[in-house]
């Protein structure tokens, strides 16, 4: 699975003009299930993100995790993280998991993160969504479950 993680002071996602998910200080996580991903990939990625030390400690260093801060997370499905831009001007998305598997792994990822303690809200899989956020820092981190065993 791939994730784009942004440390935020606030974030929200809306569908048809209605906010369906939001968080205060914490993380905005765009996530994409890739071909070949399984439950283990979703659970491991959630655990890595929960422990990711990108929040400031008392000395101002990025040394605290989401778990340490008690912050929340907004998780939004984002199949375009699978974009292949190696040739041409139109990205290809064939590396993304099929929609049914993508939905399953997206929901599993959000549930696994929630089980680790943070308050987690989500977008709506497959919907046309509007995402708003205030990136804190700015801090933006790219993670891929294929990068680690």
Count CB atoms within 10 A of the CB of residue 17. 6
Active site residue 80: yes
Q: Which of 60, 66, 58, 57 is nearest to 6 (CA)?
A: 66
CA distance linking residue 97 with residue 25, whole number of Å: 30
Catalytic residue among 35, 80, 93, 140: 80
Catalytic residue among 6, 23, 55, 79: 79
Active site residue 78: yes
CA distance linking residue 57 with residue 68, whole number of Å: 10
Q: Which two tokens stand for residue 143?
A: 């993670």
Catalytic residue among 6, 23, 78, 122: 78
Residues contacting 88, CB < 8 A, separation 6+: none
CA distance linking residue 40 with residue 28, whole number of Å: 22
End-to-end alpha-carbon separation of the chain, Å? 12
Enzyme catalytic residues:
78-80
């Amino acid at each position: 699975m791939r994730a784009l993680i942004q440390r935020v002071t606030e974030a929200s996602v809306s569908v048809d003009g209605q906010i369906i998910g939001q968080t205060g200080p914490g993380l905005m996580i765009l996530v994409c299930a890739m071909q070949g991903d399984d439950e283990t990939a979703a659970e491991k990625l959630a655990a890595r993100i929960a422990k990711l030390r990108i929040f400031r400690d008392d000395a101002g260093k990025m040394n605290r995790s989401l778990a340490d801060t008690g912050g929340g997370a907004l998780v939004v499905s984002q199949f375009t993280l699978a974009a292949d831009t190696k040739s041409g001007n139109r990205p290809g998305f064939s590396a993304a998991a099929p929609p049914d598997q993508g939905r399953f792994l997206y929901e599993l990822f959000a549930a696994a993160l929630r089980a680790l303690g943070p308050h987690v809200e989500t977008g709506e899989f497959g919907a046309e969504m509007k995402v708003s956020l205030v990136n804190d820092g700015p801090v933006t981190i790219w993670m891929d479950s294929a990068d680690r065993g």
